[in-house]
Structure 1
Amino acid sequence: MYRLSAKQAFPISRKTAWDFLSNPANLSKITPSEMGFEILSGDDRPMFPGQIIQYKVRPFPGFTTRWVTEITHVKDEAYFVDEQRFGPYSLWHHKHFINKVEGGIEMEDIIDYKLPLGFLGRLAQPLVVKKQLVSIFRYREEQLTSRFGSLPGIEKQFKIEYI
């Protein structure tokens, strides 16, 4: 299993952050276009536990797949959790936290994931998957900073580790 963790801070309120981050329709705004990301269903109402969201995604050129996630936990303006029910990973458990800090909020993502295909999946992690996730989250960081600005004095963090 692997863990991706990322933190960045913005000079905005928890409500502003929550309104943007908890709206599934906004995910396409912070996902690189080369991912071919498209929400197929489930983004038609505010986030709630049990919500099923279906996407189409192109993890690499020439391969498009469906990805189905369930929102399993929600605490307004604080956190939500999405878990893959069907898709490219053996396990995908993504926690999104919005923490209040001086001058704004800190957004924290913690993703625990496992790749399919045993040895081949472990081989693909450093060659393909890790690079792609880094690229996606760097893009997300750029898009959110462009939209909300950055909060000086709070260091951005990003890492992927084997757990």
Structure 2
Amino acid sequence: MPRIELRTEIKAIKEVVFDLSRSIDLHKISTEHTNETAIAGTTSGLIGMNESVTWRAKHFGIYQNLTSKITEFDRPNYFSDEMVSGAFSEFKHEHHFEDSNDGTLMIDLFDYKSPLGVLGKLADKIFLEKYMTDLLTERNRIVKEYAESDKWKQVLTK
């Protein structure tokens, strides 16, 4: 099972970074290039424990739906979301937040299993792991951009 690990230093308080990371509205902003839309469950605002969201997005030229649910939640230190249904065989995305000298260290651990057995493993090596890393990196770039400016107020004070 591939694991993607990203570490992002953000010059903002942990509570703001945590809430931006669970913001449905900010997620939509970070995935505009895939036309991602929340179509069921929690479709705006902040998602919390035992809540789910179904996303519709275009990946590899095909529209797909993916439902994930928040399965662990300890504000402002940690939360995780897991796929309920979608294109993967399974995934778990852990979001860790630690105080650092200049603000917050955000750590993403994304474990996933591709469908289609050997073909899925081949897809991981050829393109899928890089594609998923790029998606998560862009998401983190947007979280950082909003957290380190007054833009976070546009998302969290609605």
1:27 is aligned to 2:27: yes
Q: CA deviation at 1:120?
A: 0.9
Query: Deviation digits for residues 88-115 of structure 1, max 9, x if unmatched?
Result: 1101100001111112000000011100
Higher helix share: 2
8 Å CA contact retained: 2:24, 2:47: yes
Q: Percent identity?
A: 20
- Match runs of 1:81-100 below 5 Å: 81-100=80-99
Moved over 6 A (4+): none
Query: Deviation digits for residues 102-138 of structure 1, max 9, x if unmatched?
Result: 1200000001110000111011112221221132133
Please report the TM-score for the alignment, with normalisation by the length of structure 2.
0.85
* 92-101 or 140-149, larger mean C-alpha shift: 140-149
- Match runs of 1:1-163 below 5 Å: 1-31=1-31, 33-41=32-40, 42-44=42-44, 46-61=46-61, 63-149=62-148
Please report the TM-score for the alignment, with normalisation by the length of structure 1.
0.82
Superposed CA RMSD in Å reads 1.8
Tell me, what secondary structure is at the counterpart of 1:9?
A: strand
Counterpart CA distance in 2 for 1:143 and 1:48 is 20
Structure 1: segments with no counterpart, 5+ residues: 150-163
* 45-54 or 1-10, larger mean C-alpha shift: 45-54
